[in-house]
Structure 1
Amino acid sequence: MSGLDAPDIVAAYDDVRNDKKDTNWMLLSYAAPVGNKLTLTQTGSGGLEELVQALDDGQVQYGYVRIEYANDKE
């Protein structure tokens, strides 16, 4: 089991996708060096730049980020 159905991961994913929320990125990491269970490592509202700063070279991680373009605003 990957852990992607964990309530905290689902909530973070929904927040990133929601334009009315400030959270615009999330970072997932493996819970243990051996295994396939992912855990929510961090979330933020500072965009791609902040996500890149949160990355750890010593871990396999997955980032999900919402990018907004000027013509996306209504």
Structure 2
Amino acid sequence: MKRTTLVLEEGLLDGVRREARRRDCDLSTVVNECLRAGLHRRRPAGDPPPPLPVFAMGRPRANLADRDALEALMDAP
């Protein structure tokens, strides 16, 4: 195992120390497990997400680039 120096926020260090005392293990064990869990969650899933559904909504009622037309449409009863 390699040694390194980490600069942790005060609140994080306190939390890691409390967890280590609670579990009766050393700081390195808690930090290693937290990092491993965090890295595991961030790994991309193997399969891409399914495509989003597409619905036929008809023709647009207003030109989205025309601010006045959009405002008139939103103000209409």
Q: Normalised by the shorter chain, which TM-score bucket?
A: under 0.3
TM-score by length of 2: 0.22
Larger strand share, 1 or 2: 1
Q: Which has the higher contact order (CA 8 A, sep 6+)?
A: 1
TM-score by length of 1: 0.23
Larger helix share, 1 or 2: 2
